[in-house]
Amino acid sequence: MAQFRAIEDPYLKERGRDVEQVADRLLKALSGASQLGVGRNGGGEPLIYVAQDLQPADMLQLRGVLGFVFEQGGIHSHTAILARSLRVAAVTGVDDATGRIRDGDFLILDGDAGKVIVRPDEALLEQYRERQRQAAERERLLAQLADVDCVTQDGCRVTMLANIERPEEAEDAVRAGAEGIGLFRSEFLFLNRCQLPDEEEQYRAYRQVLETLQGRPVTIRTIDVGADKILPAQALIPGATSALGRRAIRYSLAEPEMFLVQLRALLRASVHGNLQILLPMLTQPHEVDEAMLLLAQARQELASRGEPVAEHIPVGGMIEVPAAALSAGIFASKLDFLAIGTNDLVQYTLAIDRTDQRIAHLYDELHPAVLRLIALTIRAARKASKPVCVCGEMAGEHRVAPLLLGMGLRSFSMLPSRLLRVKSEVLKVDTRQLTPLVRRMLVQDDLGSIRRGLACLGIEDASAMPSFSGAVNA
C-alpha cells in the first residue's frame, strides 16, 4: 500500500485506499476472522469499534456497536455523519488509535468534545455517568416539544425537517416531530452490495418513506456518489469517486440508464405521498435541463406501461459549490426549490478535504466567505419566491440557528436526533432583533468578529447539547 500512498495523482491514490479495504476483507475471510456485523465481544459486552477508517457502506453492516474511533477522517465526513444518524458517538482523527488502544481496554468516548479516554479511573467514570444522566433528562424535556408549533417569538413560522439515510429512519423523524423529510440520501440504498438496486427495490424503499410520513413532504435526493461514498458495484467511470470528479449529478447524467431506473422508481412512488426530487451538486444550468429531459422520458416510459404517476412533482437543486451559490438566481428560475448543502459548500469554498484529519481544524462553516454564499442563496431564492432550506450539518447546530434565521432562512433539515434541540432555540428568538445583528456579522472579514457576534446572539455553549457518548468495554 505504500506505493499507492506515495503517488501524487489523487485519483490513483484514492484507489489505493479501495484496494487496502478489499485486501483487508479478503484476509479476514480467508483466516476465518470475525466479519463486520459483530458488535459484541466474547462475553456479550457491547463494543467500541476502533479502526484506521471505515467506509459508510461498511458501517451500515455493524450492529450493537456503541461508538467508533477512527484514525482518519473528519467530523464532517460521511462516515461521521452516518454515525450521528445511527445515534452513536464517533471520534475521528485520533492519532495511532489502533496502536494505543488494546482489546479489552475500558474507554470513555466523548463524541461531543471529540475525546477518547483510555482506562479512566472511577472518579472520571462517575463524572461521565452523571453527564449521561443529565443528557437523558435534557432529552426527556426536549421530547415535550415534538408536537409544539415551531414559531419564533415574533410570530415567524419555521419549518423543521429531518435528514435520513435509510427508510427505517423515517419513523425516528416522525417521533421527533419532523414536518417532513428535507433530505433522503438515496445513495445509501446502493452501497455495500454486488448489484445496483433495481427499479422495484428502489420503488419499495421510496414508497415506505412516503407512506410513513403520511402526506408530509418527502425530499429524495437522486444518487450522490463520489468522494468517500464509493459504490462497490458501480461500473467505474474515471473520476467517479473523486470529490472533484464525475460524481453526483455528473455521474447520473453520464449513466442515463442507471439514472432512468431511479427516476422511474421515484415517479412510481410519487402516488403514495408528497414527493419532491432533489438534484445533487449542480454547477451548470444545463445539468438541470438534461435531468428534466430524462425525468420526462421516465414519465413517458411509465405512461406506456400504464403506471400511475403524480401530476406535479416539485424538483429542486442542491446548492453546495460556490459556482451554484453565485448562480443561485439562475437555478431558482429553473427549479421549484433550493436546498443548501453546507457540508460540501464549506469543503469546496475553503478547498478543504473534509475527510482529512490533518486539516480538519481549517474546516469552519463560520468562515465569512461561506456565510456570504449562504446569505446570497437565501436572498436569491426569496427574490424568486422559491422555498429554500439548509440541509447540511450546519442546520443541526443549535448554536448557529439564530444566525441562519437572521439571514432569512425559514426551513431547516437535520438529523432527527438534533431536531428538538434546534427547535428549542428557534422558539426563543425574535427575528426582528436578529436581522440587524446578523447583517453586521456578514460584513465582518475575520472569524473572531463573527464568533463574538454569535455570542451577542445569546447562544448557549456546546456543552449543553445532548450527548450520546458513553463508557463501555472496548
Distance CA 334, CA 315 (A): 9
Catalytic residue among 78, 272, 367, 398: 78
Q: Which helix (H) or strand (E) holds 159?
A: strand 159-164
For residue 80, count CB atoms less than 10 angstroms from its CB and return exposed for 0-12, middle for 13-18, buried for 19 or more.
Answer: buried
Distance CA 351, CA 344 (A): 10
Residue recorded with cell 413560522 = 157
**Beta strands at 106-110 and 470-473: parallel, antiparallel or unpaired:** antiparallel
Residue 418, Cβ neighbours under 10 Å: how many? Answer: 22
Cβ–Cβ under 8 Å, residues 414 and 81: no
**Is 361 in the active site?**
no
DSSP 27-91: HHHHHTPPPTT--B-TTS-BEEEEES---HHHHTT--SEEEEEESS--TTSHHHHHHHHTT-EEE
Collapsed DSSP state (helix, strand, coil) of residue 309: coil
Distance CA 281, CA 472 (A): 39
> 387-412 in b/e burial notation, b at 16+ Cβ within 10 A?
bbbbbbbbbbbbbbbbbbbbbbbbbb
Cβ–Cβ under 8 Å, residues 110 and 116: yes
Collapsed DSSP state (helix, strand, coil) of residue 166: coil
Cβ–Cβ under 8 Å, residues 237 and 218: no
Catalytic residue among 76, 367, 389, 391: 391
**Is 286 in the active site?**
no
Annotated catalytic residues are 78, 391
